[in-house]
């Protein structure tokens, strides 16, 4: 009987140690943050459920695998500043506490973005009101979390695909210089926090030229900018390695940190006309657009693994220039790509499956460092 109790106890402890994914302690799942600790930080975007620790398996996976987090939604303007002069810090404060509890560095996301704006701002047309919101929003929030978060995505997605300034509410009302002003205000409010520009597709030559010009403009104004986030929303078999390599070099040459901030690789077909990661693009569902609703074919799993392996090989080559690699989600079930640009699909863009089991892509990425033979 004693032996039975001991066996049950060992199985229980193994489950806790491995996040309950069935691997034995001897074959414990490697940890991304440990394996890459000499190279760059490894993180994930966390949703509210994960921060509230409603799923112990999610908490175990996050604590074991990552040393940095980005809140997926809860520090965006619509949620943290819902009404004029009224802030809601409840969820953001929980994110800070979660980071402290599990020793994860926090990249706060995001101060100025044209999307997910509170209703009272979307209907603002006069310059004075918008300028006041802009100043108050940045100053109040950035100063509250100075010293508590490591970095801020100060401005998110200010550029068009051709590298020109996006005609957002901020650009139309405050002019092109709003980006410089945002960094200036953030720098004053948060002197101990790193300040980043974050965007998608800025590895592409045309958009990259726009981002380089924008960063140079901030620097030329004598305003602090510490880094750039290449979001990294890419597609199976089409990860633009050459563009990524050229971009790492181009951005590093500006004297700033380079980060990959929202990494995922969609395995699903793109509906016609969808580009980039603009959240406003939505297309109707049909079965042809959701080919792997039941499971992922092995050939696709292998291609995904090759894509991640090639990408991380490149990251390792330039590890002296790369500060952080953050996945946009923890497991495939969390990903925004299950609902964008087509709602209700089953995508597989991350390193962990829906049960938190490491995928072939995870093993390939780890093997780049450990040299272990993987399937």
When the beta carbons of 61 and 202 are compared against ligand G3I, the nearer one is: 202
Q: At closest approach, how far in Å is the CB of 276 from ligand G3I?
A: 9
Q: Please name which of 123, 163, 160, 173 lies closest in space to residue 278, comparing C-alpha atoms.
A: 160
Q: What are phi and psi of 109, to 5 degrees?
A: -140, 115
Determine if 74 is a binding residue for ligand G3I (CB under 6 A): no
Nearer to ligand G3I, 282 or 372 (CB): 282
From the list 70-78, 166-174, 282-290, 343-351, the region that binds ligand G3I by CB under 6 A is 70-78
CB atoms within 10 A of CB 127: 12
Q: Each residue of 23-33: b (16+ CB within 10 Å) or e? A: beeeeebbbbb
CA angle 24, 26, 31 (to 5 degrees): 85
Tell me: does residue 336 bind ligand G3I (CB under 6 A). yes
DSSP for 84-121, please give it.
TTB---HHHHHHHHHHHHHT-EEEEEEEEESSS--HHH
Binding of residue 231 to ligand G3I (CB under 6 A)? yes
Q: Is 38 a catalytic residue?
A: no
Q: Which of 28, 38, 83, 157 is catalytic?
A: 157
Residue 298: name the closest of 366, 354, 356, 361 by CA.
Answer: 361
CB of 187 to ligand G3I, least distance (A): 22
Q: Select the residue interacting with ligand G3I from 203, 226, 262, 309 (CB under 6 A).
A: 262
Catalytic residue among 72, 203, 262, 309: 262
Using rule CB under 6 A, residue 73 touches ligand G3I: yes
Q: Which of 267, 277, 325, 365 binds ligand G3I (CB under 6 A)?
A: 277
Confirm whether 275 is a catalytic residue: no
Contact yes or no for 127/170 (Cβ under 8 A): no
Q: Does residue 72 touch ligand G3I according to CB under 6 A?
A: yes
Q: Which is nearer to ligand G3I, 235 or 369 (CB)?
A: 235
Shortest CB 266 distance to ligand G3I, Å = 11
214-245: b (≥16 Cβ within 10 Å) or e: bbeebbeeebbbbbbbbbbbbbbeebbeebbe
Instruction: List residues with catalytic annotation.
Output: 157, 262
Rule CB under 6 A: which residues touch ligand G3I? Answer: 72-73, 76, 115-116, 156, 231, 262, 277, 279, 336
């Amino acid at each position: 009987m004693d032996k039975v109790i001991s066996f049950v106890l060992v199985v229980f402890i193994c489950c806790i140690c491995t996040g309950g994914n069935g691997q034995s302690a001897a074959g414990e799942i490697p940890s991304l943050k440990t394996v890459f600790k000499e190279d760059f930080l490894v993180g994930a975007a966390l949703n509210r459920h994960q921060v509230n620790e409603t799923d112990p398996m999610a908490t175990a996976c996050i604590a074991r695998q990552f040393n940095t987090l980005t809140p997926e939604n809860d520090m965006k303007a619509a949620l943290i500043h819902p009404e004029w002069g009224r802030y809601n810090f409840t969820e953001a404060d929980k994110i800070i506490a979660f980071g402290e509890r599990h020793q994860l560095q926090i990249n706060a996301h995001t101060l100025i973005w044209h999307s997910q704006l509170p209703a009272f701002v979307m209907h603002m047309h006069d310059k004075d009101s918008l300028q006041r919101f802009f100043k108050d929003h940045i100053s109040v929030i950035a100063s509250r979390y100075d010293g508590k978060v490591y970095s801020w995505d100060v401005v998110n997605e200010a550029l068009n695909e051709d590298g020109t300034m996006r005609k957002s509410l901020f650009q139309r009302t405050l002019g092109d210089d709003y980006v410089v002003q945002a960094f200036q205000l953030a720098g004053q409010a948060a002197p101990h926090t790193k300040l980043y520009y974050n965007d998608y597709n800025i590895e592409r030559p045309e958009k990259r030229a726009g981002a380089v010009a924008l960063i140079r403009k901030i620097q030329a104004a004598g305003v602090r900018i510490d880094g750039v986030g290449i979001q990294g929303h890419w597609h199976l078999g089409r990860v633009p390695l050459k563009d990524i390599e050229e971009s790492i070099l181009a951005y590093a040459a500006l004297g700033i940190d380079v980060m990959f901030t929202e990494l995922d690789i969609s395995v699903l077909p793109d509906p016609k006309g969808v580009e980039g990661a603009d959240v406003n693009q939505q297309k109707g569902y049909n079965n042809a657009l959701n080919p792997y609703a039941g499971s992922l074919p092995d050939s696709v799993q292998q291609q995904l693994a090759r894509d991640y392996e090639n990408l991380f090989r490149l990251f390792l080559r330039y590890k002296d220039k790369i500060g952080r690699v953050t996945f946009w989600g923890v497991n495939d079930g969390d990903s925004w790509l299950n609902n964008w640009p087509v709602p209700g699909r089953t995508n597989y863009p991350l390193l962990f499956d829906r049960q938190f089991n490491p995928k072939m892509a995870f093993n390939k990425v780890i093997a780049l460092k450990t040299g272990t033979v993987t399937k």
